[in-house]
Amino acid sequence: MIDKDLIKLLIVEYQREVTNVRLIERDYEMEDGLNYVFVGLRRAGKSYLMFQQIQKLLTNGHSIDEILYFNFEDDRLAMLSTADLDLIKICYEEMYEHKPLFFLDEIQIVPNWEKFARRLADQNYRVYITGSNAKMLSSEIATTLGGRYIIRNVYPFSFKEFLTSEGIDTSDRNAIFRFRTKINKAFEVYFRFGGLPEAVKVENKREWLSNLYQKVFFGDLISRYQIRNDFSLRVLIRKLAESVKQPSSFNRLANVVSASGKKISTDTVIDYLGYLKESWLIFPVENFAAKLADKESKKKYYFIDNGVLNLFLLDPNTSLLENIVAVQLRRLHGEEVYYYHNGVEVDFYLPEMQLAVQACYNLNDTETTRKREINALLQFAKYTEVKRMLIITKDEENIISENGMEIEVIPIWKWL
């Protein structure tokens, strides 16, 4: 069992550290009285979101003595056991008379941590947890913790958050005019290298992203799922990146991967896609117009961060634009985002908002391109309830009025 004096030392040390962390405040709100588990891609900022919540509680009148933050990745805790989790609570109670607010960072390292987390919730403690996707999947958390915790998905920076990290205040209504050049310059970086918080200040972003991808590939995928056919998984990921704008069926993906040299079954492709989703590398979008079987078997797959997607692309612009739109819609509206394909093709449809969206890098590239994007929305609006229609482009801005309907054309950076 770990030494009690070390635990008490760490409690005080962590309390001092969390108050001094400098943060880019993110647009996440937590309700009082609820317990949370933060999940997301590696390095998406789960721990920093925990620090943000600590600092918010302190600002709202809580004492630092109430904060019981513990970082289980600390090398001084290498031999921590299940019994030591109770010892941490006991040590805190010997030091303070407060009922602690628990912040448990990377707790999945400790065996059987779930029982401790459930007991804290049952005893009405307020608890926040982060964990690595390699050992803590959102689907498993929902089952293991039995409804006692709210799962909060943590995405890479939105463009608004990215601008804040670059010192550009977007709360000013005139920011678009005052900082237009800076915003455009920042967007070029965000567009190609994504919004993972740690990548913002890294000079060689592509190298950093490549290293991150290797950690996800070997840690969150190969190791966790004991995948022996890593070649086929690599080919599948590359194929998903290359076809990010098109629906992909299970059978087609199995055939493409098999044609690369190692035969793979449709069942294995289905398993691999599930692993990629659970590891937060990709997310699927269903066809709103499809029957149930096709909804499940023929989806579009997008990458959770443009920087990771861009590692696989040679001619990236159109794919990056549609991917960044998909991520933003997913961030704002969760799984209520669809594409539409039934005689007419629309990139994104949000039925609750009655919003239809086309992503087009250059609307005026050719007359054919322009007609295709506009006519798809006009045809779609004839037999579907639509209140708003958008074409999101790289730089163009306009209002198109045809057949008594309006289509907004807006640059991606402004829409974001």
Please check whether residues 224 and 267 belong to one and the same domain: yes
What is the tally of structural domains in the chain?
3
The residue among 154, 175, 199 that closes a domain is 154
Please check whether residues 143 and 161 belong to one and the same domain: no
Task: Identify the weakest region by mean pLDDT among 94-103, 140-149, 259-268.
Answer: 140-149
E-state strands within 30-125: 36-40, 67-71, 101-105
Q: Indicate the SS3 state at residue 283.
A: strand
Nearest to 52 by CA among 89, 86, 10, 21: 21
The Cα 28–Cα 314 span in angstroms is 35
- Region of residue 120 (left: phi > 0; alpha: psi -120 to 50; beta: else): alpha
Answer yes or no: is 321 within a domain. no
Answer yes or no: is 32 within a domain. yes
CB atoms within 10 A of CB 291: 8
Please check whether residues 196 and 213 belong to one and the same domain: yes
Do the bridges between strand 101-105 and strand 67-71 make them parallel or antiparallel, or are there none, so unpaired? parallel
Residue with tokens 């070997």: 218
Please check whether residues 199 and 180 belong to one and the same domain: yes
pLDDT in tens, 286-344: 999 999 888 889 999 999 999 999 999 999 999 999 999 999 999 999 999 999 999 89
pLDDT at position 294, please? 86
339 - beta bridge partners? 287
pLDDT at position 135, please? 65
**Domain at 111, CATH number:** 3.40.50.300
Please check whether residues 117 and 250 belong to one and the same domain: no
The Cα 85–Cα 107 span in angstroms is 10
Answer yes or no: is 194 within a domain. yes
Please check whether residues 234 and 177 belong to one and the same domain: yes
pLDDT at position 345, please? 96
Q: CB under 8 Å to 354, separation ≥6 — which residues?
A: 385, 386, 387, 388
Please check whether residues 215 and 310 belong to one and the same domain: yes
Residues in the chain: 416
Answer yes or no: is 16 within a domain. yes
Residue with tokens 């690599």: 234
Answer yes or no: is 320 within a domain. no
Please check whether residues 180 and 250 belong to one and the same domain: yes
Decide if 161 contacts 333 (C-beta within 8 A): no
**CA 355, 340, 286, 279 torsion-angle sign:** negative
The Cα 29–Cα 192 span in angstroms is 28
One-letter amino acid at 360 equals C
- Report CA-CA distances (Å) from 221 to 90, 143, 225, 355: 37, 21, 6, 35
HSE-CB of 414 using CA atoms within 13 angstroms:
19
Residue 261 pLDDT level (bands cut at 50, 70, 90): confident
HSE-CB of 81 using CA atoms within 13 angstroms:
4
pTM above 0.75, yes or no: yes
Please check whether residues 305 and 291 belong to one and the same domain: yes
Q: Indicate the SS3 state at residue 262.
A: coil
Please check whether residues 116 and 221 belong to one and the same domain: no
Answer yes or no: is 191 within a domain. yes
Decide if 342 contacts 298 (C-beta within 8 A): no
The residue among 129, 154, 179 that closes a domain is 154
pLDDT in tens, 150-188: 989 999 999 999 999 998 887 777 777 788 889 999 999
Do the bridges between strand 355-359 and strand 388-393 make them parallel or antiparallel, or are there none, so unpaired? parallel
> Does residue 94 surpass a pLDDT of 90?
yes
Encoding tokens for residue 50? 């925990």
The Cα 377–Cα 391 span in angstroms is 9
**Whole-number percent of the chain with pLDDT over 90:** 80
Mean pLDDT (whole number) for 124-151: 80
> Does residue 134 surpass a pLDDT of 90?
no
The boundaries of the domain holding residue 349 are: 343-416
Q: Indicate the SS3 state at residue 74.
A: coil
The residue among 112, 127, 154 that closes a domain is 154
The Cα 241–Cα 255 span in angstroms is 16
Answer yes or no: is 379 within a domain. yes
pLDDT at position 356, please? 98
Residue 383 pLDDT level (bands cut at 50, 70, 90): confident
pLDDT at position 111, please? 86
Encoding tokens for residue 222? 């190969």
Q: Order of strands, edge to edge, in the sheet holding 398-402?
A: 248-249, 298-303, 282-287, 338-341, 345-350, 355-359, 388-393, 405-411, 398-402
Answer yes or no: is 101 within a domain. yes
**Domain at 238, CATH number:** 1.10.10.10
Please check whether residues 290 and 162 belong to one and the same domain: yes
> Does residue 209 surpass a pLDDT of 70?
yes
Nearest to 309 by CA among 412, 191, 161: 191
Please check whether residues 165 and 218 belong to one and the same domain: yes
Residue with tokens 């919004």: 195
> Does residue 97 surpass a pLDDT of 90?
yes
Nearest to 1 by CA among 85, 118, 72, 95: 85
pLDDT at position 176, please? 77
**CA 150, 151, 157, 160 torsion-angle sign:** negative
